[in-house]
Amino acid sequence: MTTHSGGIEDGAGGGPVRHIPVLLNEVLSALMPGRGQVVLDGTFGAGGYSRAILERGADVIALDRDPQAIADGHALAEAFPGRLKLIRSRFSDLSAHAPQGGLDGIVLDVGVSSMQIDKADRGFSFQKDGPLDMRMSSTGPTASDVVNRFKVSDLTRIFGFLGEEKMAGRIARAIEAQRATKPFATTRDLAGLIEMIKPRRARDKIHPATQVFQALRIYINEELLELAGALFAAERTLKPGGRLVVVSFHSLEDRIVKRFFQDRFGKRGGSSRHLPEARQDPPSFEPIGKVVAASQAEAVENPRARSAKLRAGKRTTGASLPADMTLFGLPDLPVIAARGG
């Protein structure tokens, strides 16, 4: 699963992106997998991280909410008999799939995968016409449901916060006007409307629809809530000395990871209006290195890596701290209907 903004990746909403594991060497360096260890890959995708971890000798529990990713992973499981366990699951539920003694490592590559982007029938890409879907799990409400049914005020908040779209209100009002006569059914229906409101200029680096598509995808799949839940679950599940490595791709994701580690390292100062006052609890994590970004060479080879950031921490013997969602300062958005798989 992987994305996009803070620097927003063209592929996240647009054209095909060949799957290359982002920051692979840096992930392995922070994770340090080895024989006798059990590592959980919470975002299996095409299996790039899992394969590399298996090659280092560790066993892998791989999660993905996308049934196609799990089905495609059976060939890798056969290549490493008895060492790769594939499970269809949200990564926020990772603690339910860990061995009783805990995990030696967890890696999360946050967002949408290149395989999902490349398939027009999944509805993630505005450069491939397909149904306006965007569901990672293929269950629950679709992007079409949101665009055709939500109030203008709700669409404005979704586009403005999750997509950081400056013209969120104008786009939402245009959607309301158009859907009254012709509901939005395909990715090109929506992208075409946005292009009329935000004509692409020669100097623009991203397509005009990128931010709205990003916002809908994040909202439909509850990606920020999922990430927050996965971080708390990782804290409960890692052994002392176990390592948590997170690769994020846009500012909203990275802010959540940063605040989590800042709090769990015991460095929270209470200076932000979003953060409660600092506690005296023993830190539950200690830092592993500094924040890592992709090199210029990797960004050229793999456009997905342009905005990637890696943050990592090692579990201490300190107790797990409360799973307090106010830590992240997330806004109140309309509740998505049924929670998918």
CA 277 – CA 285 distance, rounded (Å) = 19
pLDDT in tens, the chain (341 residues): 433 333 333 433 333 344 678 999 999 999 999 999 999 999 999 999 999 999 999 999 999 998 889 999 999 999 999 999 999 999 999 999 999 999 999 999 996 554 444 444 444 455 667 899 888 777 788 999 999 999 999 999 999 999 999 999 999 999 999 999 999 999 999 999 999 999 877 676 788 999 999 999 999 999 999 999 999 999 999 999 999 999 999 889 999 999 999 999 998 654 455 555 555 689 999 999 999 998 888 888 887 788 899 999 999 999 999 999 999 999 888 887 644 45
Distance CA 175, CA 191 (A): 11
Give helix 223-237 / helix 210-220 axis angle, nearest 10°.
Answer: 50
- Residue 262 annotated as part of some ligand binding site: no
Tell the CATH superfamily of the 130-220 domain: Putative methyltransferase TM0872, insert domain (1.10.150.170)
User: Would you say 59 is a known binding-site residue?
Assistant: no
249 neighbors 9 (Cβ within 8 angstroms): yes
**Structural domain boundaries in the chain:** 10-114+223-328, 130-220
Examine domains 10-114+223-328 and 130-220 and report if their fold is the same. no
Q: Is 91 annotated as a binding residue?
A: yes
Instruction: Please state which architecture CATH assigns to domain 10-114+223-328.
Output: 3-Layer(aba) Sandwich (3.40)
pLDDT value of residue 125: 52
Helix (H) or strand (E) holding 84: strand 84-88
CB 67 within 8 A of CB 88: yes
Give the tokens for residue 67. 């049934």
Q: Has 111 been labeled as part of a binding site?
A: no
64 is in an annotated binding site: yes
First and final C-alpha spacing in the chain: 15
Q: Does the annotation flag 116 for ligand binding?
A: yes
Query: Does 15 show up as a binding residue in the annotation?
Result: no
Closest CA to 265 of 242, 281, 249: 281
- pLDDT reported for residue 276: 52
Question: CA nearest 314: which of 260, 242, 246, 264?
Answer: 242
Max Cα-Cα span within the chain:
61
Residue 279 confidence (pLDDT): 58
**28 contacts 230 by C-beta, under 8 angstroms:** no
Compute the distance between CA of residue 194 and CA of residue 97 in angstroms, rounded to an integer: 42
pTM score, whole prediction:
0.85
Angle at 255 (CA atoms; ends 252, 256), nearest 5 degrees: 90
Total residue count of the chain as it appears in this document: 341
pLDDT of residue 192: 93
Q: What pLDDT is attached to residue 314?
A: 98
Q: CA nearest 220: which of 120, 138, 307? A: 138
